Amino acid sequence: MKKFDVIIVGAGVAGSYLGYLLTKKGLKVLLLEKNKKIKKDSGIVSTNINKFLKIKKELIKQKIKRMKFVSPSNRIFYLKSKKPFAYVLQRKKFGTWLRNRAREVGAKIIYEQCKKVEITQNYALVYGNRKYAGKVLVGADGASSVVRHHLSFKSPRIFNGLIYQTRKNNEQDITIYLNKYFSSHFFAWCIPKNNEYGMITKNTDSSIFFQKKIGFKPIDLIYSPIPIGCTKSFSNRCLLVGDACGQVKPITGGGIIYSLICSNTASYVLSEAFEKNRFDEKFLSKYERLWKREIGREIALQLLIRKYYRKMTNKQVDVFFEMFGKDIENIDNFNYDKASTIIWKLPKIKILKFLLKNISLLFEWTYD
C-alpha cells in the first residue's frame, strides 16, 4: 500500500491547485483522477484570478469589458466596465496547465477512479484499482463527489449545466438571457468566442424551446452537474474543496474562483495541521470557518437573490429591466465575484418600490 501525506481525489481546478500548493509546502501529495480529459465548462472567470495565478496570455481567449442581458420581451442592458472585469479562458489549456504545474513541483498524478474511501484511526484509505493511504484525504471530486457520499454528508442541490456547441454564432456580445421559459431558476447564455450556447436548468425540456426561439443548431451537447448551496466541508482526516461541497456562486453557478479561494484556505489549514500533527475534526473545522469568512456571506446573499429571482414571472423580469437597466449600465466599478454588490449599488428607493409592487416575492416561498 502506497502512503502519502495528502491524497486528493479529483484533479480539476480545486484539486490541481491545492495539489500544487501543498507540494510546494513540502508535503507528499497524490492526485487521483478518473479522467485524462479536462472537464468542459464555459471558462468565464473574473480578473481576480490574477490574485492566485499568473495567467499567461495564451490561456486567455477573450477579455470581457461588457456583457449583454436580454429580457423575455427583448429589453436589453449591458454590464460594462472601462477595464476588463473577466476573461474567457482557453478552458482545456487552463485545466492541463493546472495539472502540469502540480506535477512539475512533484505532486504525483495517478489516473484511476476512486471507488471507496475509509477513515481509520491513523489513515484515510482510498480505494482505486489499488489501495492508497494518506494522513489526510481531500475530496475535490466535483458536484457528484464520491468522497462526500462516503462521509455521508448531505448533497447540495444539483442542477444541470448544458453547453451546446455550434458551428457559427450570430451574437457579438456574451449574452445572458433571463427568460423563465428557457430556465425558470437561472438563465441561458451565448458565448460567441466559444461557439457556445448554454443554460442551467432543472428541466431539460425547455432546451428545445431555447434552441428554436434563439435559432441555433447544436452540433454537440455536453452537460455536467452544478451544485447550489454549501455542505459540510470537514471531518476527521478529511476536507472537501470546490464543487464537492458547493463552493459555487449561487447566482451564476460559477465555481472556478471560489475553488481557488478555498484551496488556498485548505492549504493554509493543512500545513498547520501537519506542523501540529492534528488531523481531528475539531482542528480541521478551522478550514470551514476561514473559507466561510471569505465567501460565506456572499453565498448566503446570492442564495437569497436567487430565491427572489426564482419566484419572478417573465413580466416581473421585464419590469426589473425597465426600472434598473440604466442604473446597472452606470455602475462601472464592481466585483464580478460578488454579484450581490451590484444589487446594493442600485438606488435603494427604487428597490423598495420594486419589492412593494411585487410584494408576493417577499412572502411566498416555494421549495422544489
Ligand X SMILES: Cc1cc2nc3c(=O)[nH]c(=O)nc-3n(C[C@H](O)[C@H](O)[C@H](O)COP(=O)(O)OP(=O)(O)OC[C@H]3O[C@@H](n4cnc5c(N)ncnc54)[C@H](O)[C@@H]3O)c2cc1C
Positions touching ligand X (CB under 6 A) are 9-15, 32-35, 39, 41-45, 113-114, 140-142, 146, 161, 163, 198, 224, 226, 242-244, 248, 253-257, 259
Closer residue to ligand X (CB): 268 or 283: 268
Minimum separation from the CB atom of position 262 to ligand X (A): 9
Give the residue among 351, 40, 307 at the shortest CA–CA distance from 186.
307
- 67 versus 361: smaller Cβ distance to ligand X: 67
Burial tier of 210 (Cβ tally within 10 Å: 0-12, 13-18, 19+)? buried
Please answer whether residues 98 and 19 qualify as being in contact, where contact means their C-beta atoms are separated by less than 8 angstroms.
no
Cβ 352 to ligand X shortest distance, Å:
32
Q: How far is the CB of 187 from ligand X (least distance, A)?
A: 12
- Measured on CA atoms in the order 324, 201, 157, 99, is the torsion positive or negative? negative
Chain-centroid distance, C-alpha 244: 10
Q: In the Cβ-directed half-sphere of 162, how many Cα atoms lie within 13 Å?
A: 26
In Å, the largest CA–CA distance within the chain is: 65
Shorter beta-carbon distance to ligand X: residue 13 or 151: 13
User: Which residue, 257 or 361, is less far from ligand X as judged by CB?
Assistant: 257
- Closest by CA position to 11, among listed 128, 151, 135, 119: 128
Give the residue with the Cβ less far from ligand X, 43 or 72: 43
Q: Provide the minimum distance between the beta carbon of 50 and ligand X in the complex, in angstroms, as a whole number.
A: 15
Q: How far is the CB of 129 from ligand X (least distance, A)?
A: 11
Smallest separation, CB 177 to ligand X (Å): 15
Bridge partners of residue 80, in order along the sequence: 66
Min dist CB 19 to ligand X, Å, is: 11
Q: Which is nearer to ligand X, 27 or 245 (CB)?
A: 245
Which stretch of DSSP H or E encloses residue 281? helix 281-311
Neighbours of 341 (CB within 10 A): 15
Quick one: 257 or 312, whose CB is closer to ligand X? Answer: 257
Place of cell 487552463: 94
Question: Residue 205 carries which side chain, given as an amino acid letter?
Answer: D
Distance CA 105, CA 126 (A): 23
Query: Which element (helix H / strand E) includes 13?
Result: helix 13-24
